Amino acid sequence: MSSPHAGSVLANSWLAAPPPRALADAQPLGTFSGRDRGFDCVTRLDTGLGLGRVGTIHTAHGTIHTPAFIPVGTKANIKALVPEMVEALGAQAVLANAYHLFLQPGSDLIDEAGGVGSFMNWPGPTYTDSGGFQVLSLGAGFKKVLSQEFSGGATDDPRIRMQAVKASNAVVDDDGVVFRSHIDGTKHRFTPEVSMRIQHELGSDIMFAFDELTSLLHPRSYQESSLERTHEWARRCLREHARLTEVRVGKPYQQLWGVIQGAQYEDLRRHAARTMSAMDEDGIRFDGFGIGGALEKENLGTIVGWVSEELGEDRPRHLLGISEPEDFFVAVEAGADTFDCVNPSRVARNAAIYAPSGRFNVTNRRFKRDFGPLVDGCGCYTCTHYSAAYVHHLFKAKEILASTLATIHNEWFTVRLVDTIRQTIQSGDYEAFRDDMLGRYQRG
């Protein structure tokens, strides 16, 4: 008996397709297109605000067809997978984390290895984030503030708001952020220049400017001062990026993308987008933009739309930390081009499986004798080779292979979902696909 959560084979046909490069007649992974930067808009989406689009991001290690989901390999590894598996499931690029790789094994070592792609044997484009989020959430005692924010119901409490400001003021100044390693407690300082040095040594194709993390608990007055600090850090990042690009002769070009903050305030978000879009330091501008910071899920599309309207059409937009199916549709319609999130692999390690009809836990008793695939009609390696009963057994037996098989499926599901959004925009079937997919997923 197949999983009651899996849905019909016909309804899941988009999951059965081969990886996107075979469908889109795109270049093989890692193929150099002759361009190491730039963005081309291929097709417009008329739905909603008319901000959605299909495009191509050019990098030194190949092209990225957008919209696209970028799996996260925090420590130069998508947990439980080898890069060949990541390529086989259709990923076009991967993202690694500057904070974690700075602490272990060290960005200088990765530089000696030829950059993060060479180090982890990934031939395609790579992203690195600036480390700003992890510096504050992991290294500067800010995790408690974030936990209070995510628990909900406390954002209007003035005492908690003051705790958030106090936590920030304790570690953040106009020059940078002081933090302690979550590994061994050693003290470090990140500045815009340090973040640029680390990311240049990591050798990513796309890196992000160093920015300050705030939460919804921070009052508007702090959001305003933080935003101006982030903009000054962005200018410093541009200058240091230009210097390092010049002195690191012979290295592939690395793109620098600015990060748009401003929480849930329309005027701050629009101001940030205009400021970052116009920012120019001796002829050096941002190659693209990340949309980050604090926002509530229900306001996601609105905020991304504000930013997209201000940024213009000539550069790509990356939405940081998004992976829920409903969020992809909202964000694409609002103008986001690429996405990253640890969630598909993280929940997979806890036996949570993505399906078109909703997420389910394969350790549930009803899967003990389910000899069909995790999801009917899914073309991932796990679903075409193993039964739900076997994956259920692996989790119950605490076998390492359980995480591998579940992660393959969840990453395939997420990559394929965004690929199908791209393909249906091109074919004119986007709205029908969106309505069918979300109708079944939200009922599941």
Amino acid at 182: H
Q: Is 340 a catalytic residue?
A: yes
Angle at alpha carbon of residue 91, lines to 85 and 95, rounded to 5°: 100
Q: Tell me the backbone φ, ψ of residue 91, rounded to 5 degrees.
A: -65, 140
C-alpha to C-alpha distance for 96 and 203, rounded to whole angstroms: 11
Residue whose structure tokens are 């305030």: 265
Q: What is the largest CA-CA distance in the chain?
A: 65
Element (H, E) at 263: none
C-alpha to C-alpha distance for 77 and 88, rounded to whole angstroms: 15
Q: Does 67 sit behind a cis peptide bond, omega within 30 degrees of 0 on the bond before it?
A: yes
Q: In 3D, which of 423, 437, 434, 335 has the Cα closest to residue 17?
A: 423
Q: Which residue in the list 111, 129, 287, 337 is annotated as catalytic?
A: 129
Decide if 177 contacts 135 (C-beta within 8 A).
yes
Q: Which residue in the list 211, 327, 340, 419 is annotated as catalytic?
A: 340
Decide if 255 contacts 207 (C-beta within 8 A).
yes
Residues marked as catalytic = 129, 340
